[in-house]
Amino acid sequence: MHQIWGRLQSSKLVLWGIIAALGVGMLVPLLLLVPRRNQAVAPASREEHQAVVTQVIGSMNRASVIGTSATRGNPNAPIVLFKFSDFQCPYCVVAAGHMKEFVGNHEDDILYVYKHLPLTQIHPEAMPSAKAAWAAQQQGQFWLYHDGLFVNQNRLGDDLYIELAEAMQLDLEQFNRDRASAEAEAAIQQDLELAQQLRLQGTPSFIMNDLLIPGGAPPQLFEEIFNQINRLMQSQS
């Protein structure tokens, strides 16, 4: 994975130029709405934050970065999109809809990776819902459960978690055991630690390969960045 990110270094200014060009007038207002964690120290500038992300991602191999996270798309795709998300975050609901369409249009060319970033300081159901989704993942139903949580975000709570598990015909005994397990806690903590290393400040946060994408980015920005990275990689292959 270090080789993939290393090949993108010469294009960083071009890609950030795309972000700036598309973001003016519509990205800033959205960013102001993104919830803040107030735990990781915010980098002084966008460029400094990008350098942190590149360093962290570049120091890990592909398997380590992805870990046991839920994924969608082509597992062998050279382009990986990470989403750090919170099931109680209202902006993550909007982003989930955008990502469903975006990833669906590029299933053969991208690997989409969901990372848990529960904002426990402001969302009391962030951690319980993340553990419930992790438990559903153990029975191969993460994405359906993910959709169910976001569709019913105003009902997050134990009743909903059981209701969704029953509707999906999950093994309830295993589901309840898994969501209360030390393994669930450890898996989510691992995502939180990665987010801390990356100095992510809120949800949703996105990283495509090692390029940090602002959380309020419009759908067309993802298309532009994907196309740019894809062209670059093809030209250097």
State how many domains the chain has. 1
| pLDDT attached to residue 235 | 80
> What's the whole-model pTM score?
0.87
211, 46 in Cβ contact below 8 A? no
215, 203 in Cβ contact below 8 A? yes
| pLDDT digit string, tens, across residues 2-59 | 444 455 555 554 555 555 554 444 343 334 344 445 456 778 888 999 999 999 999 9
82, 115 in Cβ contact below 8 A? yes
| pLDDT attached to residue 31 | 40
User: Tokens 């976001």 appear where?
Assistant: 150
Helix pair angle (126-137, 172-179), 10° resolution? 130
Q: Which residue has the higher pLDDT, 60 or 231?
A: 60
- End-to-end alpha carbon distance in the chain: 15
| pLDDT digit string, tens, across residues 55-82 | 999 999 999 999 999 999 999 999 999 9
Q: Does the pLDDT of residue 146 top 50, yes or no?
A: yes
| pLDDT digit string, tens, across residues 218-229 | 889 999 999 999
Domain region containing 100? 2-236
| pLDDT attached to residue 161 | 98
Residues 178, 140, 159, 33, Cα dihedral to 10° = 100
CA distances from 128 to 52, 120, 227, 236 (A): 30, 10, 37, 44
Mean pLDDT of 197-211: 95
Q: How confident is the model at residue 191 (pLDDT cuts 50, 70, 90)?
A: very high
| pLDDT attached to residue 145 | 98
| pLDDT digit string, tens, across residues 93-113 | 999 999 999 999 999 999 999
83 CB-contact burial (10 Å; exposed 0-12 / middle 13-18 / buried 19+): buried
Q: Which residue has the higher pLDDT, 159 or 21?
A: 159
109 CB-contact burial (10 Å; exposed 0-12 / middle 13-18 / buried 19+): middle
Q: How far is CA 88 from the centre of its chain?
A: 14
9, 199 in Cβ contact below 8 A? no
Rounded CA-CA distance 213/207 in Å is: 6
Q: Does the pLDDT of residue 234 top 90, yes or no?
A: no
CATH code (residue 92): 3.40.30.10
